[in-house]
């Protein structure tokens, strides 16, 4: 394994510079900060996908792909005369030291909750960390959770989960009312707004219960796919497709799929 002072990162920077040189790779030379945005997101999600697994080699490879995106962006900024990769490393090092006075300063250490509060205090002192500062590029569920969490830290929140649960009921009723209303211009936009309000309320429920909404929805989707596969297999065994059976028959098959996958994870409706 390499230690923290291994020149491997420097060698990577030199390769990226060669790729961006006039006689380098046409694809790499054509990239801009705008064109790289979706590549960065893809690589970040691929890292997140392998983190839960036990394959360290795959994790290492995906981290390399993500690191390439970081080095490439830094190289573009260096070409613009803005900053270089070393400046990025210096900045994050200084930030980590500044925000850990209990490690690098004379403040006392403590439990995780107290240290999290102190972290937020230090961010606010730097003019960061407010609800409005959560990036719009975050996945919508993640952004909603972080926005409401930051609002809660300054006291804008329900005292317990009863409030968010009541809000889910309220937003569900408003959505039902909109669906029952006569068709009129702008109705679809109003329906979309009510669906958004309902999802936002559900995120608040998750936050109050200490449940990560992005992970919870991901797990629910996995459970759906497992059960859907059981239903599909049951129909194929009969020589049927989804269009060959009515809703009641599908409900029976779905309940059977739930029982068959009961050991695969938490049960749900």
Q: How confident is the model at residue 265 (pLDDT cuts 50, 70, 90)?
A: low
Q: Span 166-172, mean pLDDT?
A: 98
All residues at 6 or more sequence positions from 198 whose CB lies less than 8 Å from its CB, including other chains: 168, 171, 172, 175
Task: Give the residue extent of every domain in the chain.
Answer: 8-93, 99-129, 131-211, 214-264
What percent of the chain clears pLDDT 90, i.e. is strictly above it? 75
Is the confidence at residue 109, as pLDDT, over 90?
A: no
Give the CATH number of domain 8-93: 1.10.287.1080
The whole-number pLDDT of residue 242 equals 93
Say which CATH architecture domain 131-211 belongs to: Orthogonal Bundle (1.10)
- Assign 5 a pLDDT band (cuts: 50, 70, 90): low
State yes or no: pLDDT of 138 exceeds 90: no
Q: Give yes or no for residue 262 having a pLDDT over 90.
A: no
Mean per-residue pLDDT, 159-175: 97
Q: Is residue 210's pLDDT more than 80? A: yes
Higher-pLDDT residue of 254 and 262 is 254
Q: How far apart are CA 47 and CA 39, in angstroms?
A: 12
CA pair distance 74, 33, nearest whole angstrom = 10
DSSP reduced 3-state for 246: coil
Highest mean pLDDT of the ranges 3-12, 123-132, 198-207: 198-207
Q: What is the pLDDT of residues 230-244, one digit of tens each?
A: 999 999 999 999 999
Percent of the chain with pLDDT over 70: 95
Residue 123 is predicted with a pLDDT of 78
pLDDT band at 229 (very low <50, low <70, confident <90, very high): very high
CB 195 within 8 Å of CB 226 = no
pLDDT above 70 for 160: yes
Q: Which whole number is the average pLDDT over 15-27? A: 97
Angle formed at CA 165 by CA 164 and CA 168, multiple of 5 degrees: 90
pLDDT at 62 (0 to 100): 97
Mean pLDDT in residue range 71-82: 97
DSSP 183: P
Q: How confident is the model at residue 113 (pLDDT cuts 50, 70, 90)?
A: confident
Q: How many CB atoms lie within 10 A of CB 2?
A: 8
Q: Which residues contact 46 (CB under 8 A, 6 or more apart)?
A: 62, 65, 66
With beta carbons less than 8 A apart as the criterion, state whether 123 and 100 touch: no
Query: Mean of the per-residue pLDDT values for the chain?
Result: 91
Q: Tell me what the mean pLDDT of segment 4-21 comes to.
A: 89
pLDDT above 80 for 124: no
Greater confidence (130 vs 239) lies with: 239
Q: For residue 2, what pLDDT band results from cuts at 50, 70 and 90?
A: very low
């Amino acid at each position: 394994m390499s230690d923290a002072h291994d020149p491997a990162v420097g060698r990577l920077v030199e390769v990226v510079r060669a790729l961006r040189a006039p006689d380098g790779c046409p694809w790499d030379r054509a990239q801009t900060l705008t064109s790289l945005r979706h590549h960065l997101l893809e690589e970040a999600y691929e890292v997140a996908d392998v983190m839960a697994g036990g394959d360290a080699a795959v994790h290492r490879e995906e981290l390399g792909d993500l690191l390439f995106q970081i080095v490439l962006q830094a190289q573009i900024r260096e070409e613009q005369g803005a900053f270089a990769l070393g400046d990025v490393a210096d900045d994050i090092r200084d930030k980590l030291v500044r925000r850990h006075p209990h490690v690098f300063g004379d403040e006392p250490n403590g439990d995780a909750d107290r240290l999290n509060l102190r972290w937020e205090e230090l961010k606010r002192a730097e003019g960061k960390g407010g609800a409005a500062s959560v990036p719009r590029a975050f996945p919508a569920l993640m952004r909603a959770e972080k926005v409401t969490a930051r609002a809660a830290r300054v006291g804008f929140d329900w005292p317990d989960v009863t409030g968010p649960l009541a809000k889910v009921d309220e937003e569900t009723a408003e959505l039902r009312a909109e669906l029952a209303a006569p068709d009129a211009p702008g109705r679809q936009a109003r329906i979309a707004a009510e669906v958004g309000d309902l999802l936002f309320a559900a995120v608040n429920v998750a936050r109050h219960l200490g449940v990560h909404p992005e992970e919870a929805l991901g797990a629910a989707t996995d459970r759906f796919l497992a059960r859907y596969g059981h239903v599909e297999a049951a129909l194929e065994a009969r020589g049927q497709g989804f269009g060959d059976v009515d809703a009641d028959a599908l409900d029976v098959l779905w309940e059977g799929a739930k029982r068959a996958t009961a050991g695969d994870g938490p049960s749900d409706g």
